[in-house]
Amino acid sequence: MKKIEILGTGCPKCQKTTKLVEEAVKEAGVEAEVIHVTDLDEIVNRGVMMTPAVMMDGEIKCEGKVPSAKEIKSWFE
């Protein structure tokens, strides 16, 4: 099972990122746990300087923008 973390304070861009990630996981048929990280100290400690950011299994996949559905799906390949 993949661990996908959405890092951000809950702004509209973060919410859109969450929605896109959840839809992509469902469409790809991937088993994944989607977690929200909203604590600013935790986000900074992970080396993220711009939100929204997406981490998958501990690796930063996207930072400072809302990823496209196509981009998200490519992470599962």
pLDDT, one tens digit per residue, over 35-61 is: 999 999 999 999 999 999 999 999 999
pTM comes to 0.92
**Active centre residues (catalytic):** 11, 14
pLDDT of the residue at 74: 95
Q: Helix %, strand %, coil % for the chain, to 5?
A: 40, 25, 35
pLDDT of the residue at 18: 95
What's the chain's average pLDDT?
Answer: 95
Q: How confident is the model at residue 31 (pLDDT cuts 50, 70, 90)?
A: very high
Number of domains in the chain: 1
List the CATH number of the domain containing 34.
Answer: 3.40.30.10
pLDDT of the residue at 24: 95
Which residue segment(s) compose the domain that 50 sits in? 2-74
pLDDT of the residue at 77: 84
Exposure string of 11-21, with b = 16+ CB inside 10 Å and e = fewer, is eeebeebbebb
